[in-house]
Amino acid sequence: MKKVQKNLKYKRRYNSYTNWCKKEFGSRLQKVSVNAGFTCPNRDGTISEGGCIFCNNEAFSPVLGYSAPEEPISLQIDKGLKFIKKRYRKPARYVAYFQSYSNTYADLSMLKKKYEEALKHPEITGIVIGTRPDCIDKDKLLYLKNLSDKYFVQLEFGVESCFDQTLKTINRGHDFECSRKAIELSADVGIYTCAHLILGLPGESKEQILSQADIISELPLHSIKLRQLQIVKNTNLAEDYIKNPQKFRLFELSEYIELVSRFIERTHPDIYIERISGEVPPKYNVVKSWGEVRSDTVIELVDKKLAELDSWQGKFYNT
């Protein structure tokens, strides 16, 4: 692979999304999670009724302690702001985070009602929308583009893997080409676009995992979120793991630090990295292989590993 120019204009050895926010807006972006009551075509029978094999939405949305779909979005935001301001003392720019399930999976009139209710809140300056790539279309994107003229708007697509066989294994319900088209269409209209990837899904070798950095880097993404595979209670993945643990390769912390550092080396230097590991509340974890290690510790260890390697994001990006 061809080396690109070393880029350490930020404090970290990768393009931190947090640093981009501070540069762009003068402060960090703080997401206030809301549950707008959406569902998912992979759960309501449109595609499937089982959902993705790794998904337990309560585990991935611990904010449900202060947001509930039966409550008005404005009330959820008030509760979320109270919680966040008590926990984080530093100033921030607040955005409503539509996190639970697929938050573009409704007709446009319903989406307008939900999004605009959030944007009417006096402390909310934008929206971040988590969804699936098969739940977006041109009309929805044009509406979001109009919103982005006044507010910060970002779409987060659950890509999860670049390999169709893996997507089939995890019962994702769409192929990678669907993700590619959704990302390209979103970028074409000028929406900030983020992709989620899970590193270590069943059947993927280390080289396959790393090769996804090359594939993702060719897409017009603004940012990516990475997380390690976690075995979460009350999922089909957990049932399979309990019956057939030999099928799974769960990375020890040191292995994951090496893996994600190598992934970063191959990632396009202009893509911002929003997250490099995931956290699930301990009560939901079937396997507690990392103990009490938190995400901020993982960030520090990755920076340390990249320094040891004399490396940085994009060092081995294949131009």
What is the distance between the alpha carbons of residues 4 and 10, in angstroms, rounded to a whole number?
16
pLDDT for residue 22: 92
Closest alpha carbon to 194 in 97, 121, 110? 97
pLDDT greater than 90 at residue 68 = no
Residues 6+ apart with CB under 8 A from 229: 54, 198, 199, 200, 201, 248, 250, 251
Q: Do the beta carbons of residue 199 and residue 226 sit within 8 Å?
A: yes
Q: Do 212 and 205 form a contact (C-beta atoms < 8 A)?
A: no
pLDDT band (50, 70, 90) for residue 60: low
Residue with tokens 């990392």: 290
- Name the nearest CA neighbour of 194 among 155, 163, 160, 161: 155
In the chain, which ranges are continuous DSSP H helix?
Answer: 17-25, 57-60, 73-87, 108-119, 138-148, 164-169, 176-189, 206-217, 236-243, 253-265, 295-308
The confidence score (pLDDT) of residue 293 equals 87
Mean pLDDT along residues 23-30? 92
**Structure confidence at residue 66 (pLDDT):** 58
Residue type, 307: A
Mean pLDDT of 168-181: 96
SS3 198: strand
Of the given ranges (276-280, 300-304, 307-311), which has the lowest mean pLDDT? 276-280
Check pLDDT > 70 for residue 6: no
pLDDT at 61 over 90: no
Could you identify the residue written with the tokens 């990632």? 267
- Assigned CATH topology for domain 17-308: TIM Barrel (3.20.20)
Query: pLDDT tens, 184-243?
Result: 999 999 999 999 999 999 999 999 999 999 999 999 999 999 999 999 998 999 999 999
pLDDT, one tens digit per residue, over 71-99 is: 999 999 999 999 998 888 777 899 999 99
How many angstroms from the chain centroid is the CA of residue 161? 12
Amino acid symbol at 316: F
Q: Name the residue among 266, 139, 260 with its Cα closest to residue 206.
A: 260
The domain locations on the chain are: 17-308
Calpha distance 152→118 (Å, rounded): 12
Quote the mean pLDDT of the chain: 91
